[in-house]
Amino acid sequence: MSSQSLTDSASAAFPAAAELPLVFDGHNDLAWACREHHDYRVDGVGTGLPDLHTDLPRLRAGRVGGQFWSVWVDDEALHGAEQVTATLEQIDFVHRLAAQYPDDLQLARTAAEARQAMQRGRIASLIGIEGGDQIDESLGVLRSYARLGARYMTLTWAQTIPWADSSTDEPRSHGLSEFGREVVAEMNRIGMLVDLAHVSDATMSDALDASTLPVLVSHSGARALCDHPRNVPDELIRRIGASGGVHMVAFVPSFVSQARRDWVIGGEQGEPPMVTVADVADHIEHVRDLAGVDAVGIGADYDGTGSMPSGLDDVSGYPRLLAELADRGWSHADLDKVAHENVLRVLEASDANHLAFLAGER
């Protein structure tokens, strides 16, 4: 089925879809999924990848206008220089993907370039590094990633690293080490957004103290609604909003639903509890209510987890979520903010530093 026919079918499924804003999603793991299942090939992305959550026809059906493509490395399986190699391979994948489909994708670095791509009917494609271990404790590697187009880095993944604690591992530094603060300072200097998904509460607090520019949380939920260590507690959600940052809500069922989280902890016995679009909308509204409508975005984590909520099974489902928010009384202006304006504002706050770095002025 063509991209256009899928878009038409989406509009039929969601009568107001054409009036809904384009989505700029904070986190998608297509690069690693294509490494694992398609030997880094890009040719099938245009026609359809039914074994994955993501392909171009479904991105178009989902009204995706911008995407941070996650560049993730399994830090339990790969170490040191192996992680750097795998990171570079995935950055290469994103570049090849955009080159293969120039009518659909456009590489972008800045908010202005992303807006231009969206206005041209392209999906603005940016890169995010998902784990500070991927720099192999080298600021030179960090800078090299930035030169290749990476605009954010998640300070940790699931494992605590020598300079930052993860939310799902034992602490070493009880937040950021001195080198960790140097990493945050260098990210600010070169205009690379500090991503606080995956990190411990102490690391998050230290990074908020250290960063002079707005941060993002690329894909997490609200801990008050689902008690998962990957989710953000209320006091830190408020701090993220007060500092001008954006918390992008993930769709991962065990981050969204306490019943689903309890089922996982209990050994996944029997049928999994249903997780719905409404559950995700509850997290979005919780962040809004705590930190304001300027502080919330969408970072689904497609192809980074096995299952997704009913109605959000793949990247074609975003209109269902926006329609749910519209039904709850969200204005067009506020839907624009959650869908793309907030993340573009946070990106733009670091753009001048990034461009100056690329020009050799910083």
Render pLDDT for 187-199 as a digit per residue (tens, 0 to 9). Answer: 999 999 999 999 9
* Buried b / exposed e along 117-147 (16+ C-beta atoms within 10 A): bbeeebbbbbbbbbbbbbbbeebebbbbbbe
Q: Which residues lie below 8 Å from residue 97, measured CB to CB, with a gap of 6+?
A: 30, 42, 45, 69, 105, 125
d(CA 102, CA 121): 11
Segment 305-322 shows an average pLDDT of 97
Q: How far is CA 108 from CA 114, 122, 229, 231, 329, in A?
A: 5, 10, 32, 29, 33
Mean pLDDT taken over the chain: 95
With cut-offs at 50, 70 and 90, classify the pLDDT of residue 11.
very low
User: What six digits make up the tokens of 161?
Assistant: 């690293």
- Residue 3 confidence (pLDDT) above 50: no
With cut-offs at 50, 70 and 90, classify the pLDDT of residue 16.
low
Task: Report the candidate in 141, 195, 188 with the shortest Cα–Cα distance to residue 167.
Answer: 195
- Which pLDDT score is estimated for 290? 98
For the entire predicted model, the pTM comes to 0.94
246 in Cβ contact with 297 (< 8 Å):
yes
Segment 335-355 shows an average pLDDT of 98
Segment 54-72 shows an average pLDDT of 98
- Residue 46 confidence (pLDDT) above 90: yes
Beta bridge partners, 232, equal: 222
Segment 188-211 shows an average pLDDT of 98
**Phi and psi at residue 134, to the nearest 5°:** -75, -10
Percent of residues, the chain, with pLDDT higher than 70: 95
- Which pLDDT score is estimated for 5? 34
Beta bridge partners, 25, equal: 67
pLDDT digits (tens, 9 = 90+) for 288-307: 999 999 999 999 999 999 99
* Buried b / exposed e along 175-189 (16+ C-beta atoms within 10 A): bbbeebbebbebbbb
